[in-house]
């Protein structure tokens, strides 16, 4: 008999340790939710707070169990009562979470009735719990100040079981209207506590439900984080797409006007040259529109071809500029509209003032990355001031953001006033 009692006490000690660990994990989840500015009104946050209080009350009940002092007498009764109360509150919140998660237009009268039954069972359990404080209807305490189930505790289990059943029916009926991760979150919410409740009913003395609630909260938080990570990736992808569209919209009106003016002048002096510019200008515009559909990456050679078309148009407009190419390494991909905006920036803000303005595009294959260098002998600029400007060097900032976010690459800018600018892009290759 003594050995059996020792085993029981060891099991309860193990349960206490597990519940403390569960409490710590739930508190970490709540802390993470706060620092991530999750609205405290959300059901997920409310569930975690309730789970924290639920586990805390059972920890206190275990710690003061058998304490014969006056303080222990009241602590055992208060903690056990609140423990059961938060158990029913958790079920209320889970049911309400399911209700608000289903699109309103897809909720039928049958669904509302089932959810109403589930909520009613929880409210009835709370009423019975209050009644039991004065009558011992659900549980009592023995002479050693230890919690003991009463005969009618089966009613509480039955009402909780009906709650789980109603929620499960609604969840199954409306599964197609819920996102996949949200559906599995509810499966997790209802399955672990339900099966642990059934086990606890037949194996009295070990709180399987408490460990199940802690596990359920942890899994739910992980599922939430997975969903948030997916949303973040989709958001980043949308930002990259919008950046591409913004860059395409930066075909300034004066560039179009000046190009057409150049064509108009050449029609009288050199019709063949005018025809050639019109052809190249058409290709330039068409490729810009094609790049709208390129959300992630294109071959470097395609971007280089687009850049050459732009540069040739500009070299006709400005006879004092030139563009040279030293690109032995072309077997890699880059975001669309990466090189052309840098060359445009060099021509527009740098080399046009020179008697012999020059831009060089250089590529080199290094061991861990592909390197692209855009060099010019323009007027240069103060790189510290350029960061805060709104428009002058927006192309450089735009390219840097996409290189860093889409490829994990780097882009550095070195510029010396009166001497020129060098932009170096490094994109990790498949060997790194």
Tell me, yes or no, whether 330 lies in a domain: yes
Claim to verify: residue 277 and residue 380 sit in the same structural domain: yes
Claim to verify: residue 270 and residue 188 sit in the same structural domain: no
Claim to verify: residue 268 and residue 232 sit in the same structural domain: no
CATH number, domain of 272, equals 3.30.565.10
The residue out of 202, 236, 270 marking a domain boundary is 236
Q: Is the pLDDT of residue 114 over 70?
A: yes
Average pLDDT over residues 121-147: 90
Phi and psi angles of residue 413, each rounded to the nearest 5 degrees, phi first: -125, 125
In this prediction, residue 85 carries a pLDDT of: 92
Locus of tokens 């206490």: 16
Claim to verify: residue 152 and residue 293 sit in the same structural domain: no
Claim to verify: residue 34 and residue 172 sit in the same structural domain: yes
In this prediction, residue 216 carries a pLDDT of: 83
Claim to verify: residue 199 and residue 288 sit in the same structural domain: no
In this prediction, residue 18 carries a pLDDT of: 76
Claim to verify: residue 336 and residue 222 sit in the same structural domain: no
Q: Is the pLDDT of residue 421 over 50?
A: yes
Burial bucket for residue 47 (CB in 10 Å: 0-12, 13-18, 19+)? buried
Q: Is the pLDDT of residue 389 over 80?
A: no
Q: Is the pLDDT of residue 324 over 90?
A: yes
Tell me, yes or no, whether 244 lies in a domain: no
Tell me, yes or no, whether 359 lies in a domain: yes
The residue out of 209, 236, 263 marking a domain boundary is 236
Claim to verify: residue 281 and residue 229 sit in the same structural domain: no
Tell me, yes or no, whether 333 lies in a domain: yes
Q: What band does 2 get if pLDDT is binned at 50, 70 and 90?
A: very low
Claim to verify: residue 155 and residue 281 sit in the same structural domain: no
Residue 216 belongs to domain spanning: 2-236
Burial bucket for residue 399 (CB in 10 Å: 0-12, 13-18, 19+)? buried
Claim to verify: residue 288 and residue 139 sit in the same structural domain: no
Statement: the pTM of the whole predicted model exceeds 0.75 = no
Phi and psi angles of residue 368, each rounded to the nearest 5 degrees, phi first: -115, -5
Tell me, yes or no, whether 242 lies in a domain: no
* CA distances, 68 to each of 62, 142, 150, 280 (Å): 14, 11, 21, 94
Claim to verify: residue 319 and residue 225 sit in the same structural domain: no
pLDDT digit string, tens, across residues 202-261: 877 666 777 778 888 888 788 777 877 887 778 777 776 666 566 555 555 556 776 787
Q: What is the CA radius of gyration of the chain?
A: 35
pLDDT digit string, tens, across residues 346-382: 888 888 888 899 999 999 998 889 999 999 998 888 8
The residue out of 236, 271, 286 marking a domain boundary is 236
Tell me, yes or no, whether 143 lies in a domain: yes
Q: Is the pLDDT of residue 4 over 50?
A: no
In this prediction, residue 390 carries a pLDDT of: 47
Q: Which of 46-50, 78-82, 193-197 has the highest mean pLDDT?
A: 78-82
Q: Which of 142-156, 190-204, 363-377 has the highest mean pLDDT?
A: 363-377
Would strands 357-365 and 321-326 be described as parallel, antiparallel, or unpaired?
parallel
Tell me, yes or no, whether 408 lies in a domain: yes
């Amino acid at each position: 008999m003594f050995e059996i009692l020792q085993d029981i006490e060891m099991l309860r000690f193990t349960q206490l340790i597990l519940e403390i660990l569960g409490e710590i994990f739930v508190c970490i989840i709540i802390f993470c939710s706060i620092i991530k500015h999750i609205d405290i009104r959300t059901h997920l946050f409310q569930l975690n707070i309730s789970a924290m209080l639920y586990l805390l009350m059972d920890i206190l009940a275990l710690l003061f169990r058998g304490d014969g002092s006056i303080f222990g007498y009241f602590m055992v009764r208060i903690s056990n009562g609140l423990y059961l109360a938060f158990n029913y509150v958790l079920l209320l919140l889970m049911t309400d979470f399911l209700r608000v998660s289903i699109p309103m237009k897809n909720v039928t009268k049958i669904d509302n009735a089932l959810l109403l039954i589930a909520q009613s069972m929880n409210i009835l359990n709370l009423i019975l719990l209050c009644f039991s404080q004065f009558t011992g209807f659900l549980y009592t305490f023995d002479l050693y100040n230890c919690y003991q189930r009463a005969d009618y505790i089966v009613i509480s289990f039955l009402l909780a079981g009906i709650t789980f059943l109603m929620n499960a029916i609604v969840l199954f009926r409306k599964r197609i209207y819920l996102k996949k991760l949200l559906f599995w979150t509810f499966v997790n919410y209802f399955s672990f506590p339900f099966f642990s409740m059934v086990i606890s009913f037949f194996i009295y003395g070990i709180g399987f439900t408490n460990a199940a609630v802690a596990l359920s909260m942890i899994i739910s938080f992980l599922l939430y984080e997975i969903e948030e990570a997916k949303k973040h990736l989709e958001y980043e992808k949308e930002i990259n797409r919008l950046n591409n569209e913004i860059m395409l919209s930066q075909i300034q009106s004066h560039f179009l006007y000046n190009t057409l003016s150049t064509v108009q002048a050449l029609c009288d002096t050199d019709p063949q040259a005018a025809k050639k510019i019109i052809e190249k200008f058409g290709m330039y515009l068409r490729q810009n529109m094609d790049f709208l559909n390129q959300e992630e990456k294109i071959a470097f050679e395609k971007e280089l071809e687009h850049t050459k078309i732009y540069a040739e148009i500009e070299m006709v407009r400005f006879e004092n500029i030139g563009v040279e190419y030293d690109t032995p390494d072309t077997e890699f991909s880059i975001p669309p509209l990466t090189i052309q905006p840098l060359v445009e920036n060099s021509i527009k803000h740098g080399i046009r003032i020179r008697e012999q303005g020059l831009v060089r595009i250089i590529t080199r294959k290094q061991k861990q990355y592909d390197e692209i260098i855009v060099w010019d002998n323009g007027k240069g600029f103060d790189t510290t001031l350029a960061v805060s400007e709104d428009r002058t060097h927006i192309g450089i900032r735009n390219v840097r953001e996409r290189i860093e976010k889409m490829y994990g690459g780097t882009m550095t800018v070195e510029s010396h006033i009166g001497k020129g600018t060098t932009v170096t892009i490094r994109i990790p290759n498949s060997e790194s």
